[in-house]
């Protein structure tokens, strides 16, 4: 079912022969011998048979490595049934091809041994985000807060299988908050210099990877086939996510956040997401085994699986680049700030999207204000988006850029994009005035059907649109661009269906459109409302 690579490990990984009882190689005791830097978990008593619980042996290996100044914990091919593994500074886990770290089932009620580490006591700020964000130790692999926790890695072509983990759903049993239950595959908090590379994750629980307050991290070449979130990056700095594929039908794929889980409003900044693919298209497990079996969803449920920035946004986001990514059968890209933070200096380029069931692009400034300071709205500004191709998007929703009254989104540029949607919107949709919902949960369907077929703009200041092509497969009565309370709207070379208006404008000032073959140039400095 899982990937198989035929890579040879260095002979040194197998040359070590540690007694299983002591877990210490005798050569580390001999004068003049260099310290051991690789530690084979089987030499510490791990069976790798998928039956015996191997986490005590693995944690002994981690302790010995840490006390020896650091090293690599090596997992040869096998299936290692584990509860919580406690990473330490200067220690890495290396999974050989054919090696699986398997999350053990939660012990039956009344059992006094086994289970995942306690989640930890509640914090005063816990109400501002869900249980999964507030706790880290109830995970399969974790490293949590302290001083000088640094230089940790998980590498290799093996698999982390969160079979025994909770998804953190309210009605799920055993409940994620119950003693002994784990709900994350990998959770790292308040550490620096992290490398996650080459391995795969199957069914990672509530979060396959949760990074909180991490500085300097590389997440590269992972394949994640999971039942909730893929990669969450919360209040982190200097992070690169590259060359990853995430199939997450039931939740988001790659998710920058800025929650209050650290007890402070800390921004996520200096983040690069590049060369990644996100999807919700496939039966879980079929991405990893290569069969790519499509999920058949009920009518009321659609795949999620997207890149979404800002479910929690207390500290905001700065210096974000998202480039060269594929969205396939999922929701579109979302940039959201609704909890008082500031989202600014964002560059997005070279995205392809197919079969998105939400808007291809959603940019939202709101006033949910889930945090201790509920006064300041925040800001969303300086976003550049270019080279986007979206095909066969859902008819209901155009792309959305929406602020709130008195707090506009500012300084947006969108260029060289192709939006193709199913179309077929009736005049009833064209006549809609979507509700404001300033304090609502930030998601694109919060407004219902949009009265635009291409772009819905509300409470925006200084937006430039150039080389925009909007296509509807079926005739659509809605205007290509719908704008309300927009100042400085500059549209260059818009191509849209001639069967419907190009523009539906309400209280738009400093407006200019030019360079469109099928539509005359027009300029207006004064605020006006018109459909044409």
Among residues 350, 322, 161, the alpha carbon closest in space to that of 244 is found at 322
State the chain's mean pLDDT as an integer: 91
Residue 51 belongs to some domain of the structure? no
- The model's confidence at residue 11, banded by pLDDT at 50, 70 and 90, is very low
Q: Is 29's pLDDT higher than 70?
A: no
In sequence order, the 6+-apart residues with CB closer than 8 A to the CB of 6 are 97
CB 312 within 8 A of CB 339: yes
Residue 230 belongs to some domain of the structure? no
Distance, first Cα to last Cα, the chain: 56
- Rounded Cα distance between 54 and 58, Å, is 6
CB 319 within 8 A of CB 269: yes
DSSP per residue over 332-381, as a string?
-EEEEE-SS-EEEEEEEEEEEEES-SS-SEEEEE-----SS--S---EEE
Q: How far is CA 142 from CA 184, 239, 440, 501, in A?
A: 9, 18, 33, 55
25-39, 120-134, 331-345, 449-463: which has the minimum mean pLDDT? Answer: 25-39
Q: Is 374's pLDDT higher than 70?
A: no
DSSP per residue over 104-129, as a string?
PPPPPTT--S--PPP-----TTGGGS
State residue 114's pLDDT score.
77
- The model's confidence at residue 85, banded by pLDDT at 50, 70 and 90, is very high
State residue 107's pLDDT score.
83
Q: What is the pLDDT of residues 247-292, one digit of tens each?
A: 999 999 999 999 999 999 999 999 999 999 999 999 999 999 999 9
CB 159 within 8 A of CB 205: no
Number of domains in the chain: 1
Judged on CB neighbours under 10 Å (0-12, 13-18, 19+), 275 is: middle
Residue 521 belongs to some domain of the structure? yes
The mean per-residue pLDDT over the stretch 119-143 comes to 89
Residue 430 belongs to some domain of the structure? yes
Q: Is 32's pLDDT higher than 80?
A: no
Q: Is 380's pLDDT higher than 80?
A: yes
Q: Give the dihedral of Cα atoms 425, 427, 430, 436; nearest 10 deg.
A: -100
Residue 287 belongs to some domain of the structure? no
CB 342 within 8 A of CB 294: no
State residue 173's pLDDT score.
81
- The model's confidence at residue 110, banded by pLDDT at 50, 70 and 90, is low
Phi-psi region of 79 (alpha: psi -120 to 50; beta: other; left: phi over 0): beta
In sequence order, the 6+-apart residues with CB closer than 8 A to the CB of 405 are 436, 438, 459, 485
173-182, 245-254, 453-462: which has the minimum mean pLDDT? Answer: 173-182
Give the percent of the chain with pLDDT over 90.
Answer: 80
- Rounded Cα distance between 207 and 455, Å, is 32
What does the buried/exposed string (b/e) look like for 280-314 if buried means 16 or more CB atoms within 10 Å of the residue's CB?
Answer: bbbbbbbbbeeeeeebeeeeeebbbbbbbbbbbbb
- Rounded Cα distance between 355 and 302, Å, is 11
Residue 460 belongs to some domain of the structure? yes
- The model's confidence at residue 158, banded by pLDDT at 50, 70 and 90, is very high
Residue 370 belongs to some domain of the structure? yes
- The model's confidence at residue 33, banded by pLDDT at 50, 70 and 90, is low
DSSP-assigned letter for residue 132: H
Residue 96 belongs to some domain of the structure? no
Q: Is 355's pLDDT higher than 70?
A: yes
Q: Which range marks the domain in which residue 395 is found?
A: 331-532
- The three state secondary structure string of 155-171 is EECCEEECCCCCCCCCC
Examine residue 174 and say whether the peptide bond preceding it is cis (omega within 30 degrees of 0): yes
The mean per-residue pLDDT over the stretch 357-379 comes to 88
- Rounded Cα distance between 434 and 446, Å, is 9
- Rounded Cα distance between 349 and 321, Å, is 8
- Rounded Cα distance between 169 and 159, Å, is 24
User: What are the contacts of 117-121 at 24+ separation with CB within 8 A?
Assistant: 117/83, 117/84, 117/86, 117/142, 117/182, 118/179, 119/177
Q: How far is CA 185 from CA 19, 92, 114, 138, in A?
A: 30, 16, 17, 9
Specify the 3-state DSSP secondary structure of 220: strand
- The model's confidence at residue 27, banded by pLDDT at 50, 70 and 90, is very low
Sequence length of the chain is: 532
- Rounded Cα distance between 104 and 55, Å, is 10
Tokens of 180: 């002994």
Tokens of 236: 């982190």
- The model's confidence at residue 383, banded by pLDDT at 50, 70 and 90, is very high
């Amino acid at each position: 079912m899982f990937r198989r690579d035929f890579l040879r490990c260095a002979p040194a990984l197998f040359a070590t022969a540690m007694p299983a009882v002591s877990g210490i190689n005798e050569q580390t005791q001999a004068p003049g011998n260099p310290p051991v830097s690789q530690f084979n978990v089987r030499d510490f008593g791990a069976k790798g048979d998928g039956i015996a619980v191997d986490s005590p042996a693995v944690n002994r290996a981690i302790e010995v490595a840490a006390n020896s100044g650091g090293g690599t914990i090596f997992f040869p091919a096998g299936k290692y049934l584990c509860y919580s593994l406690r990473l330490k500074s200067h220690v890495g886990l290396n999974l050989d091809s054919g090696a699986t770290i398997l999350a053990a089932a939660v012990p039956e009620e009344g059992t006094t041994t086994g289970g995942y580490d306690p989640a930890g006591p509640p914090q005063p700020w816990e109400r501002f985000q869900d249980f999964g964000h507030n706790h880290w130790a109830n995970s399969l692999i974790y490293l949590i807060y302290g001083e000088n926790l640094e230089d940790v890695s998980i590498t290799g072509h093996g698999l982390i299988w969160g079979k025994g983990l909770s998804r953190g759903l309210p009605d799920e049993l055993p409940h994620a908050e119950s003693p002994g239950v784990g709900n994350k595959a990998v959770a790292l908090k308040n550490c620096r210099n992290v490398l996650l590379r080459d391995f795969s994750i199957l069914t990672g629980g509530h979060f396959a990877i949760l990074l909180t307050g991490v500085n300097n991290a590389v997440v590269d070449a992972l394949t994640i086939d999971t039942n909730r979130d893929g990669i969450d990056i919360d209040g982190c700095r200097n992070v690169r996510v590259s060359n990853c594929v995430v199939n997450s039908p039931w939740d988001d794929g790659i998710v920058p956040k800025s929650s209050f889980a650290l007890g402070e409003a800390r921004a996520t900044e200096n983040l690069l997401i590049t060369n990644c693919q996100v999807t919700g298209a496939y039966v879980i497990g079929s991405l990893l085994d290569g069969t790519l079996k499509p999920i058949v969803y009920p009518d009321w449920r659609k795949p999620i699986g997207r890149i979404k920035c800002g479910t929690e946004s207390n500290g905001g986001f700065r210096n974000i680049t998202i480039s060269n990514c594929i969205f396939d059968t999922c929701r579109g890209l979302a940039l959201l700030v609704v909890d008082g933070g500031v989202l600014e200096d964002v560059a997005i380029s070279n995205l392809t999207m197919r079969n998105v069931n939400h808007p291809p692009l959603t940019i939202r400034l709101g006033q949910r204000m889930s945090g201790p300071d509920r006064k300041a709205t925040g800001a969303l500004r300086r976003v550049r988006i270019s080279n986007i191709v979206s095909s066969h998007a859902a008819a209901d929703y155009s792309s959305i850029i929406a602020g709130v009254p008195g707090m506009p989104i500012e300084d947006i540029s969108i260029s060289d994009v192709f939006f193709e949607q199913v179309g077929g919107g009736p005049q009833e949709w064209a006549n809609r005035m979507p509700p404001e919902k300033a304090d609502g949960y930030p998601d694109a369907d919060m407004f219902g059907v949009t009265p635009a077929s291409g772009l819905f703009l509300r409470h925006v200041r200084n937006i430039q649109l150039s080389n925009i092509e909007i296509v509807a497969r079926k005739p659509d009565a809605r205007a290509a661009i719908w704008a309300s309370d927009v100042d400085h709207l500059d549209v260059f070379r818009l191509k849209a269906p001639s069967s419907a208006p190009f523009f539906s404008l309400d209280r738009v000032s400093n407006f200019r459109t030019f360079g469109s073959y099928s539509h005359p140039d027009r300029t207006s400095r004064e605020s006006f409302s018109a459909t044409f």
